[in-house]
Structure 1
Amino acid sequence: MSLLALEEVVVSEGRVVILAELKGLKEHEETIENNLKIRIKKIKKRGFYKPIIADKQTNVILDGHHKWNAAKEFGLSKVPTIFVDYFNDSGVQVNVWPECGKDSITKEEVIEMGLSGNVFPPKTSKHSFDFEIPSLSIPLEKLRDG
């Protein structure tokens, strides 16, 4: 996956927002159609305003499935992304959403699903991070090829 650094966008604790190739990222969870429509409207109006969070080893999306799908709708080739060391970073946690039909979920299950080409139902995994996810303002034109 080719990565391009954004100018002067660094998150606390050395976490950097980079532009990652959209096609290289992998989903592990379905989106909710109405939430996707809302996200598309918001991104169209404001540009990309929050990065996607993904595992640096596998490129599986941990947070930002609606943003990733919105980027596909806009025909973007790149998306702002923070890559984390999912298995070794104790500041990245995963739980289940209430009423999702599962009692628990592991990081291994999330990655296996993302690599399988299948997806969990919407709102199955709920990730939490011990770092602040920065606000951005990236026009969509900067995320297209050419």
Structure 2
Amino acid sequence: MNEIKLMSISEIIPTEEFIESRLDEVIKMIILSKVWTDPIRIEKNTNIIMDGHHRFESAKRLKLRYVPCCLYDYSDVMVTRNYDGKILNKNDIIKRGMSGQLYPAKTTKHEFKQLVSVKIPLNELM
């Protein structure tokens, strides 16, 4: 099972932009539920986001200090999208994240063998 870890917002590195209209929906869902249920999926060696850019930006806007993250290794994850006709690989994605040159929203697609959920009250993430 993949490790779940509460991570500081400042530790997490995005690789993609987000869609503002989608962000509004995610924030509303989080506020209404009053709990965080879907961890952000993070590459465990670099802290780049594999999945969860909208949840990450939502946490920032909600001024949360921490978010639950599920840590993965690229050896257990498949990348299934391409960008500008080039098939993406883990090195491309890591390089983009570390450089701060974000891909457009929804450019990368990671497929995970195992997904986990959590149930953490928002007040514990402040």
Report the TM-score range of the alignment, normalised by the length of the smaller protein.
over 0.9
Instruction: Give the alignment's Cα RMSD to 1 decimal.
Output: 1.4
Structure 1: which amino acid aligns with 2:119? S
2:46 alignment partner AA:
T
CA displacement at 1:102 relative to structure 2: 3.4
Residue 106 of structure 2 aligns with which residue? 123
Q: Which runs of 5+ in 2 are unaligned?
A: none
Deviations 1:4-60 (A, max 9, x none): xxxxxxxxxx21211011111000001111111111001111121100011111110
User: What is the distance in 2 between the residues matched to 1:137 and 1:52?
Assistant: 13
Match for residue 118 of structure 2 among 110, 131, 136:
136
TM-score when normalising by structure 2: 0.92
Where does residue 73 of structure 2 map in the other structure?
85
Say if 1:96 and 1:102, in contact at 8 Å, map to a contact too. no
Aligned length: 125
Matches within 5 A, 1:66-77: 66-77=54-65
Percent identity over paired residues: 35
Which aligned segments of 4 or more residues in structure 1 are displaced greater than 4 angstroms?
none
The gaps in structure 1 that reach 5 residues or longer are 1-13
| Residues 1-146 of structure 1 aligned to structure 2 (within 5 Å) | 14-46=1-33, 47-86=35-74, 89=75, 91-96=76-81, 101-131=84-114, 133-144=115-126
SS in 2 for 1:26: coil
Considering Cα pairs closer than 8 Å and 6+ residues apart, tell me whether 1 or 2 has the greater RCO: 2
Whichever of the two has the greater Rg, that structure is 1
TM-score by length of structure 1 reads: 0.80
